[in-house]
Chain A
């Protein structure tokens, strides 16, 4: 395989305008599959969540999952789409071993939701409105595992194993209109779009949105046009983009690859490409000899879907506060600057801070914990903030222990470390690690007296009214009590002993 020539990115965006189109597939987290009663579950022994319908056995028929329709409508509404008062499923016909019926039951020219938009905030606060063409329902395929051969692909494999557990899992495909005019920020816009969409779907509680498990998948269509050109260039469609970072890398890579070809007088092949996570490059999929004709026609085994206006209205009422609105509200309630809000958003901390506040902590304290100490811990561990093994409730408890004087800030960090180490609830960690503030004045008097005796010069200064000198004695006491004393109380006792 030859390495593709790439153009320097700065040159790419000086010479070309990128045009994007993003297709996102979301697996719904309904209890059962789209057209049968089989469990909709990730994992599981191969071919254990199957029945005549999702295996496409002769004579079997589909029955539509009403909850999937409900989720589709809610997604459509959250994306500011119109909801079709009448629509149908269609059959998309093509042969592939992981598709039991050799047609996919999907929606074609009658999607359930269409003509919407999603506002996407970039890292610097700029808002880009991405137009949504449609959101439609379809079923997922099974999975193939190609054994033997070097590539793990069907060609060259010795044999293939098929798992139909995923066959018939409900999917919503969300398709953008072409996204133009984003220039050098195109890769960032692509990532921010998928990220915003992911947050939105999470808030709707309709999907696990796990890109690593394939419950959210993105296909990125990229083309370039010469600056000032009137017509779009030829696009490629990149699949296998399995993380937010990959979305950005894949778009950027395609731009540099296509630009080099165009600059060299070549032309872009309209093709499907696969993103390679390790190298950050894309490679061509198998070339099709003929263009695919899916021979769509209305699915005769299902009746049309006609959501009543009342039902749609009712579902509109079930929409949770969406991430964008939530941010606006949180910013006002917590009196955040734009920058503070953006940091919070970028760190993925809004929900965590809000949940911590809901558990009783003052929002400012909660924000401080998540944005500083816990963020550092997440960085050290190389995980996302939300993946830390500590709950907002536990953080709120630690904050409460500080507030009532049971813990100092330093002790509180030790308690958090204990929780992160899996040592149990905060109170348990306090107990087992013996981290309680020493609040017994008699023990403190002894330590204070000892420290004053050891530092007679300082003691004299304090007695002479130089109260600031007490800091040195506080430090000494804290040292002997291994930080378990309340520094404020120690200071009070020192001044008392010195008669100041």
Chain B
């Protein structure tokens, strides 16, 4: 494996800017790595070789001409979750229904990445329409966890996180509706951030649940995630829910955290996220991480957020309700899969046949759940009640953040489970997002940072910050990352097993 693929994004950008290495060389090294290991990992649905090399070449031309770098990440390769549109390449959302669809426009996130000189290597695998916690719901086959190829890489953004852990890319973009960035980050030993809702544009993000979806950065270090965060965040007039406010200073916070001092920071441990259902190894690694924070000078207190217990059921009413409406457009009339258009079927029948053939079981389950929850006579009891729970959860956060600067918990109750282990038990699958969902419902910022291994598998610590205070989590995470690396003999990610390389 080329050493270039082991580098952090910040290092790559610095070397490219200093002409120590060309962006084309870096990109080629990652493309080679993908060619060598992705047969085993299956992180990518589409590798965009030619355009990636062309983008890298453009960065090299800038450097050669002495033009200032487009961003602190110019020339760094990135893996884009296949739920964001990118002109010139397919966007499938992991679904048969969009198998060959080529969007005629770039998502705002994609456009900002391009403008920053970030090199997009391709599109990553995901649970169909981002519905799932294992990437097993992809219509194009599961992604495997580089730590153990028999295990899931988390979901829905398993492709993005696995690409990082397999050194196929130093950066990735994920989207997080109930934990789809953070939980894959936790189980692959990588960093995953869900920014404050409304701070990263959703324009071009194929909607699963509009009021919850948020794109965010995935990386192997906290600083890299912060650098990527600042590239993609910021007000976008094309997204009405985009907040017109300055991007929180997350890079400065990550650098401040890296001084290793957390004196004066109050950290609240969420008491609800412990006990039955939390694997012993996970609880242990998390407890050790909390002690590490204390050692860095943080004040640790326990905080109760009683409504968080209602988050999971509320989420499984709100998200499917919105999804049932968002996914209605996949009807074969304008784009995507079309089944039964043989002259013998009406338009309604073609719609129905296409949807029956094009959607997987989990997507259908959620469309049905959502359709039911919004139905006349049930709306108040289901969707209406869930919205009330949402308000309660926001109040719990408000009360907690009145006492502490950040809240922490395990990111997910278990380490990566085996492929196939939970496919027959949706409730067990849904519980993977138990700790991550509250921040989606409330819209505040949250991230996952690796906090150790349990039986050789990565464990993540979740750090939650108030809305528009994303920098708090970065500061704590960066301080913790530094201390953990020192205490545990270097970055955890270096302990990921070598993958078998195809020749």
Contact = CB atoms under 8 A, between A and B. Distances in A.
A63 B335 CA distance: 23
Contacts of B335: 57
B214 to A, nearest CB: 13
A293 B329 contact: no
Contact of A300 (B322, B324, B346, B351): B322
A93 B323 CA distance: 12
Interface string A282-295: 00000000000101
Contact of A59 (B91, B324, B351, B383): B91
Interface stretch (A98-106, A185-193, A418-426): A98-106
A303 interface: yes
B110 to A, nearest CB: 10
Given A91-B325, A102-B328, A300-B211, A97 B333 contact: yes
B212 to A, nearest CB: 9
Contact of B325 (A52, A97, A103, A160): A103
Contacts of B328: 93, 95, 101-103
Interface string B93-109: 10000100101110100
A283 to B, nearest CB: 21
Contacts of A64: 240
Interface stretch (B263-271, B308-316, B374-382, B491-499): B374-382
B347 A97 contact: yes
Given A52-B104, A61-B203, A101-B328, A301 B334 contact: no
Given A61-B202, A63-B240, A160-B347, A93 B325 contact: yes
A56, A97, A162, A297: most-surrounded residue (chain B CB, <10 A): A297
A295 B351 CA distance: 19
A453 interface: no
A393 interface: no
A293 B371 CA distance: 10
A62 interface: yes
A57, A62, A97, A296: most-surrounded residue (chain B CB, <10 A): A57
B238 A63 contact: yes
B105 to A, nearest CB: 5
A55 interface: yes
Contacts of B210: 300-301
Given A301-B240, A303-B240, A59 B325 contact: no
Interface string A66-106: 00000000000000000000000001010101001111000
Contacts of B331: 95, 97, 102
B205 A59 contact: yes
Contact of B329 (A58, A295, A297): A58
A297 B375 CA distance: 10
A498 B207 CA distance: 98
A375 B207 CA distance: 59
Interface in A198-235: none
B237 interface: yes
Q: How large is the interface on A (under 10, 10 to 19, 20 to 34, 35 or more residues)?
A: 20 to 34
Contact of B84 (A59, A61, A93): A59
Contacts of B383: 297
A58 B203 contact: no
A60 interface: yes
Contacts of A293: 375-376
A61 B240 contact: yes
Interface residues of B, number: 45
A4 interface: no
Contacts of B324: 93, 295
A64 B203 CA distance: 14
Interface in A274-321: 293, 295-297, 300-303
A302 B347 contact: no
Contact of A57 (B103, B240, B333, B375): B103
Interface of A: prevailing SS: loop
A261 to B, nearest CB: 29
A58 B323 CA distance: 12
Contacts of B240: 61-64, 301-303
Contacts of B330: 58
Contacts of B211: 300
A58 B91 contact: yes
B66 to A, nearest CB: 37
A63 B374 contact: no
Nearest to A37: B238
A412 B77 CA distance: 82
Contacts of B93: 58
B348 A95 contact: yes
Given A297-B374, A297-B383, A303-B241, A154 B347 contact: yes
A64, A93, A154, A295: most-surrounded residue (chain B CB, <10 A): A295
A59 B203 contact: yes
A97 B331 CA distance: 8
B347 A295 contact: no
A161 to B, nearest CB: 12
B72 to A, nearest CB: 27
B206 interface: yes
B85 interface: yes
B279 interface: no
Contacts of A160: 347
A57 B211 CA distance: 18
Contacts of B334: 55-57, 100, 162
A58 B103 contact: yes
Contacts of B107: 59
B204 interface: yes
B375 A102 contact: no
B239 interface: yes
Contacts of B138: none
Contacts of A297: 321-322, 325, 374, 379, 383
A63 B371 CA distance: 26
A59 B175 CA distance: 13
B111 to A, nearest CB: 12
A18 B211 CA distance: 46
Contacts of A52: 103-105
A61 B239 contact: yes
B202 to A, nearest CB: 6
B371 A295 contact: yes
Interface string B366-394: 00000100111001000100000000000
Nearest to A53: B238
A58 B206 contact: yes
Contacts of A155: 346
A297 B205 CA distance: 21
Contacts of B322: 297, 300
Contacts of A63: 237-238, 240
A64 to B, nearest CB: 7
A61 B107 CA distance: 11
Given A95-B348, A295-B371, A295-B375, A59 B329 contact: no
B149 to A, nearest CB: 31
Contacts of B321: 297
B319 to A, nearest CB: 11
B203 A60 contact: yes
B241 A59 contact: no
Given A62-B240, A300-B241, A303-B240, 20 more contacts: A52-B103, A56-B329, A56-B334, A58-B93, A58-B207, A59-B105, A59-B205, A61-B203, A97-B331, A97-B347, A103-B325, A155-B346, A160-B347, A295-B371, A297-B325, A297-B374, A300-B210, A300-B211, A300-B322, A301-B210
23 contacts: A56-B329, A57-B104, A57-B105, A58-B98, A58-B103, A58-B206, A59-B91, A59-B206, A60-B105, A91-B325, A93-B325, A93-B374, A97-B333, A154-B347, A295-B371, A296-B374, A297-B325, A300-B209, A300-B210, A300-B241, A300-B322, A302-B240, A303-B241
Q: Which 6 A-B pairs give the minimum distances between C-beta atoms?
A: A102-B328, A295-B374, A300-B210, A300-B211, A58-B206, A59-B204
Interface of B: 84-85, 91, 93, 98, 101, 103-105, 107, 202-207, 209-211, 237-241, 321-322, 324-325, 328-331, 333-335, 346-348, 351, 371, 374-376, 379, 383
